[in-house]
């Protein structure tokens, strides 16, 4: 399967006006994406299949956290359970829904004085700030007030006004967070600014649980947080990794592909399920924190990255960034891969755009995909 980021030599002679207006790159990407779609049935290797497993789960962070193990060793059950339960202590530290949590106390106090954090939470917030810079603000830990505003507007069957967006914008932006590495403190520049780890916290928790499992000598496992973010290590059922099904975002009961996840993480974001219609227009639930408005260039984004924390954050950031900026980011970060799905043209199947995705980890489901009815 050809990677869609490879240039088509014939495009170098394309129309200069199209290039200057950005159409040339988009057209090339879409042509290459369609070529990938048309190759679905041509000589593809069989999909890897899952075997018997031992599963355990617990509910935290408003979703189910699951651990999947290879069967056979009963001695690992108790240490594995203890590792999975670690998510509850992390939730009690990172949640904004409990006033006594460390993050809630920071939000309540850091606009008045510097707030000292425990090392792990300080490190997570600092990495989140670095991602905000690297994604030009597409990932932003201060964006929760926009989400609250849109939730309120949906309940009232309307969309926010420009004045409401402008008012909330005064309290959103990574530039409103001040870090002091020496004292391990955080300051918020003005009252009303608040940090929320909803876009990175699940992934971070999976990384912590995985480290605990490996410390206990458990080297092959699959972890997930709400099914949307996954982390896999080791082997399963004779495969050098764990097979993960990737769903068609338009026909969610249909598998689009299988990804063999090996010693890395995967996270998917999309607006195909959660959205709001107002006066005939569809508004997705993923917002651009720089504008406060929903983004709709893509149907879904799946990210492969070395850590679940990074995959979790980038899946939403890439959705906001769109095709061209995501490709540029992955070009500069070769260990990060993305599968981008654009809204299809009427009468055609969906067209995945593959960015840095190794051919040996992606197995396209060999059946005809129904065309879009849009």
Contact criterion met (CB below 8 Å) for 311 and 229: yes
Has this prediction a pTM greater than 0.75? yes
- DSSP assignment letter at 75: G
* Predicted local confidence at residue 252, as pLDDT: 78
Measured CA to CA, the distance from residue 221 to residue 224 in angstroms comes to: 10
**Which position has the higher pLDDT, 36 or 275?**
275
SS3 content of the chain, % helix, strand, coil (to 5): 35, 25, 40
- For 202-222, what is each residue's pLDDT tens digit? 999 999 999 999 999 999 999
pLDDT at 29: 52
The tens digit of pLDDT for each residue in 334-373 reads 999 999 999 877 767 777 899 999 989 999 876 554 444 3
Q: Report the DSSP pairing between strands 362-364 and 255-261.
A: antiparallel
- Residue bearing the bigger pLDDT, 374 or 14: 14
Instruction: Give CA–CA dist 167/149, Å, rounded.
Output: 10
Per-residue confidence (pLDDT) for residue 38, from 0 to 100: 47
Average pLDDT over residues 157-175: 95
Beta pairing, strands 115-116 & 229-233: unpaired
- Enter the DSSP assignment of 67: E
Confidence of residue 251 (pLDDT cuts 50, 70, 90): confident
The tens digit of pLDDT for each residue in 110-133 reads 999 999 999 999 999 999 999 999
- How far, in Å, CA of 372 to CA of 179, rounded? 48
Residue 245 CA to residue 362 CA, distance in Å, equals 10
CB neighbour class for 182 (10 Å; exposed up to 12, middle 13-18, buried from 19):
exposed
- Collapse the DSSP code of 178 into the 3-class scheme (helix H, G, I; strand E, B; otherwise coil) and give the result: strand
pLDDT above 60 (res 243): yes
Q: Are 361 and 59 in contact (CB under 8 A)?
A: no
Nearest to 328 by CA among 198, 201, 138, 197: 138
Tokens (6 digits) for 89: 């202590």
Strand partners, 304: 266, 337
Q: Categorize the per-residue pLDDT at 138 as very low, low, confident or very high, splitting at 50, 70 and 90.
A: very high
Worst-scoring range by mean pLDDT, 32-41, 106-115, 239-248, 310-319? 32-41
Element (H, E) at 102: helix 102-109
User: How much is the average pLDDT of 168-183?
Assistant: 97
Strands 221-225 and 177-180: unpaired
Q: Which two tokens stand for residue 167?
A: 């008012």
Work out the mean pLDDT of the chain and round it to a whole number: 86
Q: What is the DSSP string of 184-208?
A: TEEEESSTT-----TTTHHHHHHHH
Q: Which residues pair with 179 in a beta bridge?
A: 186
- Residue 275: pLDDT band with limits 50, 70, 90: low
With a CB cutoff of 8 Å and minimum separation 6, the contacts of 10 are none
User: Per-residue pLDDT for 21 more than 70?
Assistant: no
Give tens-digit pLDDT for 54-103: 999 999 999 999 999 999 877 899 999 999 999 999 999 999 999 999 99
């Amino acid at each position: 399967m050809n990677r869609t980021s490879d240039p088509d030599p014939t495009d170098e002679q394309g129309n200069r006006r199209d290039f200057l207006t950005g159409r040339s790159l988009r057209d090339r990407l879409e042509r290459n994406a369609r070529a990938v779609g048309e190759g679905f049935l041509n000589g593809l290797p069989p999909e890897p299949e899952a075997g018997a497993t031992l599963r355990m789960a617990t509910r935290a962070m408003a979703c189910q956290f699951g651990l999947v193990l290879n069967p056979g060793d009963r001695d690992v059950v108790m240490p594995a359970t203890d590792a999975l339960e670690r998510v509850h202590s992390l939730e009690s530290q990172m949640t904004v829904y409990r006033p006594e949590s460390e993050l809630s106390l920071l939000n309540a106090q850091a606009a008045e004085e510097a707030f000292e954090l425990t090392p792990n939470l300080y490190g997570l917030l600092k990495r989140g700030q670095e991602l905000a810079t690297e994604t030009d603000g597409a990932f932003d830990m201060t964006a929760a007030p926009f989400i609250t505003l849109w939730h309120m507007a949906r309940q009232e069957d309307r969309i926010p006004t420009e004045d409401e967006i402008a008012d909330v914008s005064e309290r959103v932006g990574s530039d409103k967070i001040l870090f002091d590495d020496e004292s391990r403190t955080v300051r918020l520049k003005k009252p009303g600014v608040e940090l929320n780890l909803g876009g990175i916290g699940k992934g971070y928790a999976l990384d912590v649980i995985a480290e605990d499992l490996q410390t206990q000598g458990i080297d092959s496992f699959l972890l997930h947080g709400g099914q949307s973010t996954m982390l896999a290590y080791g082997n399963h059922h004779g495969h050098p990794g764990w097979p993960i099904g990737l769903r068609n975002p338009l026909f969610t009961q249909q598998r689009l592909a299988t990804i063999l996840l090996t010693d890395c993480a995967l996270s998917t974001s999309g607006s195909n399920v959660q959205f709001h219609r107002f006066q005939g227009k569809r508004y997705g639930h993923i917002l651009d924190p720089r504008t406060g408005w929903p983004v709709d260039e893509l149907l879904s984004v799946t990210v492969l990255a070395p850590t679940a924390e990074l995959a979790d954050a980038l899946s939403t950031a890439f959705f906001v960034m769109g095709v061209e900026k995501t490709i540029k980011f992955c070009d500069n970060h070769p260990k990060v891969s993305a599968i981008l799905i654009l809204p299809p043209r009427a009468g055609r199947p969906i067209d995945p755009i593959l960015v840095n995705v190794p051919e040996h980890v992606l197995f396209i489901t060999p059946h005809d995909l129904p065309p879009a009815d849009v």
